[in-house]
Amino acid sequence: MANTPQSKKRARQNARRLEVNKARRSRIRTFLRKVEDAIASGNKDAAAAALKSAQPELMRGVTKGVYHKNTASRKMSRLAARVKAIG
């Protein structure tokens, strides 16, 4: 339990950041799911468009500290390879 004023403030800040990061992570996962669905349907144009819209979202997650840079790069690389393999 937080005792000092600073640790109480830090606990409040952490709770607030948790909510923001949770929403951000959920938004990114939605974009990635759209790419997955397009790949599963076999529509290369839709998959490429979904990938193009997912890239900035994923990189924004990196700049905001939700994902590590290498994690995002790995996800993008694997998705891009799967989209390319459709055609």
Task: Name all domains of the chain by residue range, CATH numbers in brackets.
Answer: 5-86 (1.20.58.110)
Q: At what angle do helices 44-63 and 69-86 cross, to 10 degrees?
A: 180
What's the whole-model pTM score?
0.86
Chain position carrying tokens 């929403």: 23
Helix, strand, or coil (residue 87): coil
Report the first-to-last Cα separation within the chain, whole angstroms: 56
pLDDT, tens digit (0-9, with 9 covering 90-100), for 26-82: 999 999 999 999 999 999 999 999 999 999 999 999 999 999 999 999 999 999 999
